[in-house]
Every structure is written in structure tokens, then in C-alpha cells.
């Protein structure tokens, strides 16, 4: 089977903690042909989407993922993308919509994780608002109007709110707003909205957030693994990329219930692999473009979730 990974540069991978690497490694161990493709290497040839691929040389595959990364070598080939049996979209968000357009003509020919139309819908944090009918979604406001945002903050009965960019990831740009810093609020909002050019999110502050969040790995609508992410000292962000640390976690009955309700809609939208962020039984974010956590969970528990991911696409492509 030929497996395509559309991802960030291979050279930029941090092998100890990279989830994409774990899936590539597992697929290579099973003898699948691996092609790596960068967004900037997409092209159209005679009306067909092609790419300048890095094709993994499979002479010898190390059993350890980090060693595999260090030893991996590639050949470069220009190939039609539809030659592959499955495509993994693993580029850090947000994805450029133009890159998705390159794949539109083959989206019904090649099984894609995640579905092109689903990713287009969930490419940024506005996707959370499509779950508005569920009681576990925090109060969320999105705007690029500074005066409107200031009114929301001033009218909020709590003294704290979370501000973050619509298209951020890895905790980048997430800050805690407190009414005690009122004199700075307009300046902060003007900076984040860039004079009305950028939309931002205001979200209710969830008490207990200082203890961290729960990252849940969802596959085909079901939770397959979870961990607790604990913020670094003097930081509100739990993201591992922002300095948080991972700890083992067993899902509570309420968290399982949230996953069950969310999972159904994820599958309907073709979002088979996702990362949910939950704080005190509130769903804070749904990550569908390049959700991480597989490597951290493996280090904590020894469980190799990448095996379930590869099992999943093998089954899908064999039907």
C-alpha cells in the first residue's frame, strides 16, 4: 500500500515527541511505501494533481522511531497523488485553502485523513461553534471589533476571560485577560485584531484551568487514548509545545460521554483523527489538522496508538 503524508519539513521534526513520525514509522514497519509531500511541492500536470515526493528507502527499518528518523533516507520523485492509497494531512494549522484546492479533484478517489471538506470546515477554532447545542461548550465570542470585544469583557460577570487567535495552534497567543488590567485591554485587543484585520476568540475562563487540561485522541469517533497536560509554572497554557508536561490520565465517565457525542459529528464530517482538549468537563478545542499526543501517551503508558491508526486506514482501504 502507498501512503502519502502531507506535512511540515522532515528536517524540522522533533523525533522524541512527534506523532506523525510515529505513524510513518509504524506504516514503514508493516512494509507500506511512504511518500512525504510538502505543501509547496504540490502542482498540476495535465489537469492532474502531482507532487515532488520524498519516497522512503525501505532497505532497513529500525525498530525504534527515533533511530528510524535518524537513519531514514529518501529518493525524490514527481508522482500523481492519486497513485497513493491513503493521504494523511499532517501540516501544522492553519492550512492554506489553496493547498486544499489542489486535492479537491481526487478527494473521492483517495481515502484522506482527514477528509478535505471536513478539514476545510474545521481548519480553525470556529469549528467549536458548530457544537453550540451541547451543554459542555464554553461561552465563546468571536469578532474583530475591539469595542464589541471590550463590551463582552466588561459585561462578563467573571473577572477572567481567555483570549486567543482564531487560527493559532500549540498554545501560541493564548492569554488570560483579567479586569484588573483594564487599562491595557484596548491596547491588547487592538494588537490581536491588527486593526480589525484578524478575528479573535474570547472564551469564558473555566475554573480549574490552572490545573491543566485533558488531551483525548479520537479515531473514527472513538477515544483511543488520553493524557493530562499540566501547565508550566507561571503559565496558563497546558500545551506541550508551550512548556506544559504530560501525565497519565484515565477518562472519567463524563469525559467519555463528551467524546461519544462529539465523535458522532466528527465522523459525519469525515474527521477521523482528532484531538479534543477538555477542562473540567468543558470542551475547549477540537484539533483536526495535525493533532498530537501519540508520542507522549506512548512514553507515559507504553501504548502505541499509532498501531490503531494504521489498522484503521488498512481496514478502510481494503474494503
Segments making up each domain of the chain, as ranges: 2-116, 139-204
CA–CA gap between residue 51 and residue 76 (Å, rounded)? 10
> What does pLDDT average to over the chain?
90
10's grid cell: 522532515
Of the pLDDT bands very low, low, confident and very high (cuts 50, 70, 90), residue 158 is: confident
Q: Determine the Cα–Cα distance for residues 277 and 300; give it in Å rounded to an integer.
A: 18
Of the listed ranges 6-15, 91-100, 201-210, 217-226, the least confidently predicted one is: 91-100
Residue 164's CB: how many other CB atoms inside 10 A?
20
Share of the chain above pLDDT 70, in %: 95
Q: What is the CATH number of domain 2-116?
A: 3.40.50.20
Looking up cell 502519502, which residue turns up? 4
89-111 pLDDT, tens digit each: 998 877 777 888 999 999 999 99
Q: Extract the C-alpha cell encoding 275.
A: 484531538
Q: How many residues in the chain?
A: 319
- The tens digit of pLDDT for each residue in 221-278 reads 999 999 999 876 665 555 555 467 889 999 999 999 999 999 999 999 999 999 999 9
What's the confidence (pLDDT) of residue 125?
Answer: 81
Residue 132 has which C-alpha cell?
A: 453550540
Residues 44-64 pLDDT 10s: 999 999 999 999 998 889 999
DSSP, collapsed to helix, strand or coil, labels residue 109 as coil
Give domain 139-204's CATH architecture: 2-Layer Sandwich (3.30)
pLDDT of residue 313: 95
| CB contact at 8 A, 162 and 139 | no
Tell whether pTM > 0.85.
yes
Measured at the alpha carbon of residue 238, what is the angle toward residues 122 and 242, in degrees to the nearest 5? 90
pLDDT at 170: 65
pLDDT at position 223: 97
Please report the pLDDT score of residue 314 as a whole number: 95
Q: Model confidence over 159-202: pLDDT tens digits?
A: 788 998 887 666 677 888 887 777 788 899 999 998 889 999 99
Amino acid at each position: 500500500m502507498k501512503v502519502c503524508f502531507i506535512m511540515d519539513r522532515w528536517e524540522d521534526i522533533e523525533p522524541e515527541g512527534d506523532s506523525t513520525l510515529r505513524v510513518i514509522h509504524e506504516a514503514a514497519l508493516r512494509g507500506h511505501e511512504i511518500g512525504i509531500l510538502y505543501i509547496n511541492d504540490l502542482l498540476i500536470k495535465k489537469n492532474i494533481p502531482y507532487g515532488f515526493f520524498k519516497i522512503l528507502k525501505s532497505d532497513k527499518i529500525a525498530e525504534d522511531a527515533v533511530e528510524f528518523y535518524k537513519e531514514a533516507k529518501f529518493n525524490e520523485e514527481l508522482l500523481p497523488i492519486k497513485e497513493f492509497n491513503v493521504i494523511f494531512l499532517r501540516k501544522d494549522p492553519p492550512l492554506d485553502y489553496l493547498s486544499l484546492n489542489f486535492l479537491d479533484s481526487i478527494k473521492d478517489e483517495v481515502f484522506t485523513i482527514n477528509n478535505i471538506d471536513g478539514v476545510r470546515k474545521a481548519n480553525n477554532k470556529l469549528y467549536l461553534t458548530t457544537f453550540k447545542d451541547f451543554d459542555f461548550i464554553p461561552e465563546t465570542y468571536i469578532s474583530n471589533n475591539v469595542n464589541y470585544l471590550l463590551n463582552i469583557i466588561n459585561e462578563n460577570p467573571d473577572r477572567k476571560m481567555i483570549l486567543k487567535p482564531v487560527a493559532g495552534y500549540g498554545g501560541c497567543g493564548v492569554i488570560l485577560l483579567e479586569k484588573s488590567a483594564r487599562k491595557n485591554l484596548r491596547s491588547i485587543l487592538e494588537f490581536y485584531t491588527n486593526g480589525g484585520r484578524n478575528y479573535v476568540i474570547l472564551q469564558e475562563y473555566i475554573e480549574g484551568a490552572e490545573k491543566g487540561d485533558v488531551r483525548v485522541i479520537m479515531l473514527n469517533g472513538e477515544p483511543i487514548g488520553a493524557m493530562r497536560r499540566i501547565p508550566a509554572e507561571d503559565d496558563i497554557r497546558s500545551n506541550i509545545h508551550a512548556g506544559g508536561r504530560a501525565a497519565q490520565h484515565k477518562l472519567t465517565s463524563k469525559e467519555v460521554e463528551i467524546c461519544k457525542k462529539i465523535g458522532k459529528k466528527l465522523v459525519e464530517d469525515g474527521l477521523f483523527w482528532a484531538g479534543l482538549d477538555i477542562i473540567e468537563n468543558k470542551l475547549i478545542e477540537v484539533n483536526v489538522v495535525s493533532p498530537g499526543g501519540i508520542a507522549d501517551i506512548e512514553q507515559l503508558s507504553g501504548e502505541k496508538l499509532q498501531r490503531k491508526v494504521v489498522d484503521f486506514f488498512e481496514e478502510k482501504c481494503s474494503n
